[in-house]
Structure 1
Amino acid sequence: MSSENTIQRQIWLALGSISRLFRVNTGRAWISGMGPAGVKRLPNGSVVITAARSIAMGFSAPSGDTIVGASDLAGWTTVKITPEMVGRDVAVYTSIECKNSKGGRSSPEQLNWAAQVKIGGGIAGIVSSPAAALLIIDEWKQNK
């Protein structure tokens, strides 16, 4: 069985020629309101942050809360539009959630995220192989 991280990198590389994707890490982190001067690393490896404040990592809501369920890889796939739009290229939002080679489990939030992206006209899916990720994009292009 390949780890989720290994599968994710394989998918990322496989889609690199047709999509521009970025790794989206989600969660919360702490930064100093004083900038780098407010962060001190101790000899034991611990870090002390002066004037600390919490920030959302990845996608966040206007409230500052982290969005739960956002996919691992997000970006766009360039698509040439029909002649009615004079052959114009557009960026279609693309969101790929990666699971380990045994399939992994999708949370209700991840399933909802993928569904909402699709409803909005974007490309989204939950996959455990590069071939499955490529299929999602091909099916979107063929309007399946």
Structure 2
Amino acid sequence: MKQSEYELQNKIRIAVGKERTATLFRANVGKAWTGKKTICCGDMITLHEARPFSTGLPIGFPDLFGFRTVEITPEMVGKKLAVFAFIEVKTKQGRTSRAQEKMHALLRDAGALGGVARSTEEALHLLDPSTEPPEMR
């Protein structure tokens, strides 16, 4: 049975949390309707002057985002720093869109850790480059 992107996302979030590699959150977006509401007939809602709206994040934003704590050496003040981290989850056959590629480049250019992961091992390596790459395991 093929693994869905949603199932892989959950496996990655669990593995990253278990390894304490980073703290990740699922990016939620959606589309809904708003307007002047009239509630009638119990659980029925009628919207007057209805209009659609989109919620969430910019086009191309990664599926999982959060931070990885990096310890600054004593020569660098000795404090910890949270570095933005992201994972774009794709199945083996999944492809990134142009908007996603542009967003990933923007985030990496700003110093974020992350990229496209097709497995939990890839996600862990993207968030902690000191670990062995998946192809070496």
* TM-score, length of structure 2 as denominator length: 0.77
Correspondent of 1:117 among 107, 112, 118: 107
- Residue 40 of structure 1 deviates from its aligned partner by 4.1
Deviations 1:39-80 (A, max 9, x none): 74867x875335656544222xxxxxxx11100111111111
> Cα–Cα, structure 1 residues 46 and 77, in superposed 2: closer, same or farther, change >3 Å?
farther
Structure 1: distance between partners of 2:40 and 2:26: 27
Alpha carbons 2:87, 2:115 under 8 Å: kept: yes
**TM-score in terms of structure 1 length:** 0.74
Aligned to 2:128, the other structure's residue is in SS state helix
Kindly provide the CA deviation profile for residues 2-36 of structure 1, in whole angstroms up to 9, marking residues without a partner as x.
11111010011111122121111234333457xxx
My pick for the range that moved more, 116-125 or 84-93, is 84-93
Q: 1:31 and 1:85 mapped to 2: Cα distance?
A: 50
Q: Which residue of 2 aligns with 1:21?
A: 24
Give the superposed CA RMSD: 2.6
Identity of aligned residues (%): 36
Aligned to 1:62: none
- Name the aligned partner's letter for residue 5 of structure 1: Y
Tell me how far 1:138 sits from its aligned partner: 1.7
Counterpart code for 2:22: S
Answering whether residue 84 of structure 2 is matched by residue 99 of structure 1, we say no
Q: Partners in 1 of 2:32 and 2:76 — Cα distance?
A: 43
